[in-house]
Structure 1
Amino acid sequence: MPHEESTHAGRLGVVFFPAFDWAISATHPEREERLLYTCDQLHEEGLFDIPGITEYRPNFTEQADLARAHFCLPNVAAVSTDSHLASAGAAVTAARLVLEKKADKAFALARPPGHHAMRVVHGNRGFCNINNEAVMVEYVRDHWPHPEGRPLRIAIVDTDVHHGDGSQDIFWNDPHTLFISLHQDGRTLYPGSGFPGECGGPGALGRTINIPLPPETADEGYLYAVKNAVLPILAEFKPDLVINSAGQDNHFSDPLANMRLSAQGYAALNRALNPDIAVLEGGYAIRGALPYVNMGICLALAGLPFEDIREPDWRPESVRQRPETSRCIAGICDKALRMYRRPPVRPTEGQEEDGWWTRRRHIFYDTDMLRESQHEGWRLCADCSGLGRIETSSERVARSLCILIPRHACPRCREEGAALAEKGHSSARYAHVLMIDHNKKEA
C-alpha cells in the first residue's frame, strides 16, 4: 500500500558503499564518482540528521555467498573482487536491517551494479559480474525461512532502464520469485531482450513479467505502469518481501538511454511501489541526476515529502510525454496483466527433449568481450519445479557442467542431480563441474 504523507520519518537504513578501488576504467560511466556526488548531496542536505534515517556500512559477503547464486567459472575469485563482495554485502546488509527489524525500509546505495549478471558467470557483461539481488535473495531464504514452512515468496521489481536480463535468467524457473522488469524497449536499447513473451521457465510460467516501455516514456508513463500493471500483479502474487532494483538511468539527462523520468518521478514511483528494500543498479548522469534521484528515493522510502526535490536541468518539456506514447503504454500494461494471469502452457523459449525443457543460447559479455555458449535444461517434473542442468563454455573456460537443485526439489530430482554431478566429475568431458543445492546451507 502507498505511504501516507508524514512529517516524521519512518526508520530507513541507507547502506552506502562507493567502491573506491573498482572501476572499469578511469573515464568509464561505471566509476566511483557515480556515488561520491550523491554522498556529498545527502550529507549537505542533512538527510542523516533526520531522526530515523541512519547511514550504515556494508558487511562483506563471503565467496560462498556468491556461489549460492552463481556458477562462477573457473571460480568465484576469478570473476569477482573485494568490491563485489562489498556491493553484494550492501544488499545483504539492507535485507538484514529490515528482517531483523532494525529498520522499516532499507536502501543499498552501492556499486558495482549487478542485474545483468546471469546464473553462469564467465566475466563482466553490462558492467555487472555479480547479481547483488540474487545473492541477497539466497541469503534471505537461507536465514529467514517462512515460519509456516512454506516457500518464501519474493518479488523483484526492476526499474532500471535496461532489461534486467541477468535477474530474469537466475529466477527464470523459480515459481516462488516474481520478477517484473520495466525498461526501455529492447528493440532500442541494450541488452536487446525483455519482451512480453519472455514469461518464465517450464516450472514458473507467468513468474517473469516484462513491461518494455517506448523511448521517451516520462513520469506519467512509469507511474501508469506501476499503478495499472505492477501493483495489481503484486496484489495477486502476495509477496512476503518486495525488492526494487532501483536503476536510475531512465532519467531524462542520462547519457546511455532515451527516457524522461525525473527525480520527482523516481520518488513518486518508489512511494507507489512501496518496496521493503531498494538496491541501486545503473544511473550515469553523475552530477545532474543521481544526487537528486537518490535523495528523492530516500525521502519516499522514509515516508517524507519529496516535492521540493528538483534537479538543476529540469524543465517542463524534459518530462513531457506524447499522447501516442501514453496509448502505447496502456496496451503494454494490459498485455502484462494477461501474461501474468493467463501465461502460455509452455515457455516461448526452447523445446522439450527427452523429459527436459532445453534451450541453446549464445551470450555475449560486452564489457569483457567474451562469447559464451550454453545448453540449458530443466527436468520436467510433476512434483517440483525441476532440476537444472547447464553445459557452458567460453573463450576463457572450456566446457563445464553446472547442476542446480532448487529449494523444495522433490527426492527424485535431488537424487538425479547428485548422480549427474558425480557422473560429470568422473568424466574427462568437463573442465569444471559445479553444483548448487539450495536445500543445503553450504554452497
Structure 2
Amino acid sequence: MLEAKNRLGIIFFPAFDWAISATHPEREERLLYTQDQLREEGLFDIAGITEYKPEIATREDVERVHFCIPGVESVCTKSHLISAGGAITAARLVMEKEEEKAFALVRPPGHHAMKVVHGNRGFCNINIEAVMLEHIREQYGPLRVAIVDTDCHHGDGTQDIYWNDRDTLFISLHQDGRTLYPGTGFPHELGGPNAMGRTLNIPLPPGTSDKGFLHVIDNLVLPVLEDFKPDLVINSAGQDNHFSDPITNMNFSARGYAMLNRRLNPDIAVLEGGYAIQGALPYVNLGICLAMAGLDFDGVREPEFDPAAIAQSDQVSTYIERLCDEMLKVWRKPPALPKQGERSGDWWVRTKDIYYDTDGISESQVESVLLCPDCSGTVKIETWSTVNPLSVGIEIPISACDRCAGIGRRLLEEAHLKGNYRYVQCIDRKAKRYTRYGF
C-alpha cells in the first residue's frame, strides 16, 4: 500500500455560493475540476493523506489583520470567512502536529487584500494567509515566519500588511509589474524603515519557464531562507504562472510547480490564483500535493505539454541570473531606509493611492511608522476613499516595546476624543485588544 512520506492534510472549499460573476475566471470550477482529479487519481486512498473540512474565521480573526472600512461585514461574505478558515485549519493541523504539512485548496483568494480594506481588488477581499498567520501567532505565540508567494501577480496585499514587520519575511516571485497587474513588486521595494530587507521582490520576464523559476529558488530563495531561519514557511501557491493560463504570460509547467514545492519544502501551502481551470489547475494541484506528501510526481503531465515550445530564451536566463545575484547582495546588505516616504520627526511617512479594480473604488492613505531600533514600530494609517470618509487605523505590533505601545495607545485616545475621523480602529497585538469606534 502506497504511503506518504510526509503526513499531509488537504482542506477543500470551492465556495459554491460566491463569484464575482458567473463567467469570471475566479469561480467555483477552479476547484471542482481539481477535486475530481485528486479523487480519480486515488490521492485520498494513499495512507497519510487526509481531507479536512474548513472552519470559519471570525470577525476578530479579520480585525486582527485588517482595518475594514466601514466594517468586516461590509467588505466580505461568509465564503471569505470560510476560505480564511480553511487556511487557519491548515495551520492548526501543522502547529498541533496532527499533520506534518497542509495544503489549503480554498477560494476566494486573498493576496491582493492590503492592510486597509474598502472593497475587492484583484479578486481579493481579505488576505487569507495573513488572517491565518496572525491567528496562529495569537494562539501559539510569536513566530518568525517566511511567506513565499509564487503567484504570477505580485502579492502587493501581503507585502503591504507585512511591510513594517521585522519578524515576517515576504518573498514574491512574479511576472514583472511593467507587464502585468498590479504594476508593483520591484527590487527597490524592500520593506519599511524598521524592517528593511524583510520584503524581497523578484520580478521575472514574460516567458520565464521551469528553468528560471527553479534557478530563483535554488540561488536566491533558499539561501535567504537559510539566513533568516524561519520557524514556519508558508507558500502562497498561486498557479497562474502556468503556460496555459489565460490572463498571464509565463511558461511554468505542472511538474515545474511540483519541483518548486519539493525544493521550497513549505510547512503550509495556500491556493491563490490560477485560471486555466481544466488544462492546468487539476494537474498543478496534484503535483503540489504529491510533492508535499514526499511522493513521486514524475508522471504528472498536463494536456498540450511540450517542453520545447515553452523553453525560455537565453536572454531571459541571463536576466534572471543577474537579478538573483543582485538581490542576494541586497538581502545581505540592505539600504538603511526605504525609497518610499520621508522622515517627519520620529515618524517615517509615506502616501499611497490605491485603486480597487473590481469595485471601482479609489482610496488615498497617509501611513506613519514610528521609527524604533527595538521593535517593528507602531503604525498609524489615515485613509479615505470614494465610498468612505476620513478614518484611521492604529496598529501596535505583537513585539512592541513599551515606548511604541504607549504612543500607540495615546494615539487611539486622541483619535477617539478629537472626533476628526468617521471610523477609528486599533489593533493592539501586544495587549490582544481590538478597539473600534464609530462602527
Which is worse superposed, 213-222 or 424-433? 424-433
Which is worse superposed, 433-442 or 62-71? 433-442
| 1:161-185 deviation digits (Å, cap 9, x = unpaired) | 0000000000001000000000000
2:28 maps to which residue?
32
Aligned residues of 1:263 and 1:292 also touching (Cα < 8 A) = yes
TM-score, normalised to structure 2, is: 0.97
Cα distance in 1 for partners of 2:402, 2:307 equals 60
1:3 maps to which residue?
none
Cα distance in 2 for partners of 1:386, 1:440 equals 15
Alignment of 1:236-251 (within 5 A): 236-251=227-242
| 1:322-366 deviation digits (Å, cap 9, x = unpaired) | 111100000111121112111001011110012100001100000
The sequence identity of aligned pairs, in percent, is: 63
Task: Give 1:229's match in structure 2, choosing from 220, 230, 237.
Answer: 220
Instruction: Say whether 1:91 aligns with 2:87.
Output: yes
- Aligned-pair CA distance for 1:442: 4.3
- Counterpart of 1:213 in structure 2: which amino acid? L
2:375 maps to which residue?
384
Partner of 1:11: helix, strand, or coil?
strand
Cα distance in 1 for partners of 2:422, 2:139 equals 33
1:75 maps to which residue?
71
2:315 maps to which residue?
324
Cα distance in 1 for partners of 2:85, 2:120 equals 19
Task: Give 1:197's match in structure 2, choosing from 188, 195, 199.
Answer: 188
- Counterpart of 2:251 in structure 1: which amino acid? R
Instruction: Say whether 1:220 aligns with 2:211.
Output: yes
Task: Give 1:117's match in structure 2, choosing from 113, 116, 124.
Answer: 113
| 1:256-307 deviation digits (Å, cap 9, x = unpaired) | 1000000000000000000000000000000000000000000000000000
Alignment of 1:362-381 (within 5 A): 362-381=353-372
- Counterpart of 2:25 in structure 1: which amino acid? P
Cα distance in 1 for partners of 2:380, 2:419 equals 18
- Aligned-pair CA distance for 1:319: 2.7
- Counterpart of 2:85 in structure 1: which amino acid? G
Aligned residues of 2:150 and 2:236 also touching (Cα < 8 A) = yes
Cα distance in 2 for partners of 1:183, 1:217 equals 10
Cα distance in 1 for partners of 2:227, 2:421 equals 43
2:425 maps to which residue?
434
Cα distance in 1 for partners of 2:307, 2:236 equals 27
Task: Give 2:281's match in structure 1, choosing from 290, 308, 322.
Answer: 290
Structure 1 vs Structure 2 CA RMSD: 1.0
Aligned residues of 1:9 and 1:53 also touching (Cα < 8 A) = no
1:307 maps to which residue?
298
Q: Which runs of 5 or more residues in structure 1 are unaligned?
A: 1-5, 146-150
Aligned residues of 1:186 and 1:192 also touching (Cα < 8 A) = yes
Cα distance in 1 for partners of 2:373, 2:333 equals 20
- Aligned-pair CA distance for 1:7: 6.5
Count, aligned residues: 433
Partner of 2:83: helix, strand, or coil?
helix
Alignment of 1:7-86 (within 5 A): 8-86=4-82
Instruction: Say whether 1:280 aligns with 2:291.
Output: no
Cα distance in 2 for partners of 1:218, 1:208 equals 24
Partner of 2:158: helix, strand, or coil?
helix
Which is worse superposed, 314-323 or 367-376? 314-323
Aligned residues of 1:229 and 1:337 also touching (Cα < 8 A) = yes
Aligned residues of 2:347 and 2:371 also touching (Cα < 8 A) = yes
Instruction: Say whether 1:176 aligns with 2:176.
Output: no
Cα distance in 1 for partners of 2:251, 2:178 equals 18
Instruction: Say whether 1:419 aligns with 2:410.
Output: yes
Q: Which runs of 5 or more residues in structure 2 are unaligned?
A: 435-439
- Aligned-pair CA distance for 1:441: 3.1
Aligned residues of 1:7 and 1:305 also touching (Cα < 8 A) = no
- Aligned-pair CA distance for 1:113: 0.2
Aligned residues of 2:147 and 2:170 also touching (Cα < 8 A) = yes
Residues 337 and 353 of structure 1: is their aligned pair in 2 closer, same or farther, counting only changes over 3 Å?
Answer: same
- Aligned-pair CA distance for 1:8: 4.0
Partner of 2:64: helix, strand, or coil?
helix
Cα distance in 2 for partners of 1:319, 1:152 equals 40
Aligned residues of 2:194 and 2:373 also touching (Cα < 8 A) = no
1:103 maps to which residue?
99
| 1:218-237 deviation digits (Å, cap 9, x = unpaired) | 00100000000000000000
- Aligned-pair CA distance for 1:412: 1.6
Partner of 2:47: helix, strand, or coil?
coil
1:398 maps to which residue?
389
Aligned residues of 1:9 and 1:50 also touching (Cα < 8 A) = no
- Counterpart of 1:49 in structure 2: which amino acid? D
Alignment of 1:117-156 (within 5 A): 117-145=113-141, 151-156=142-147
TM-score, normalised to structure 1, is: 0.96
Partner of 1:10: helix, strand, or coil?
strand
| 1:83-125 deviation digits (Å, cap 9, x = unpaired) | 0100000110000001111111000000000000000000000
Task: Give 1:157's match in structure 2, choosing from 141, 148, 155.
Answer: 148
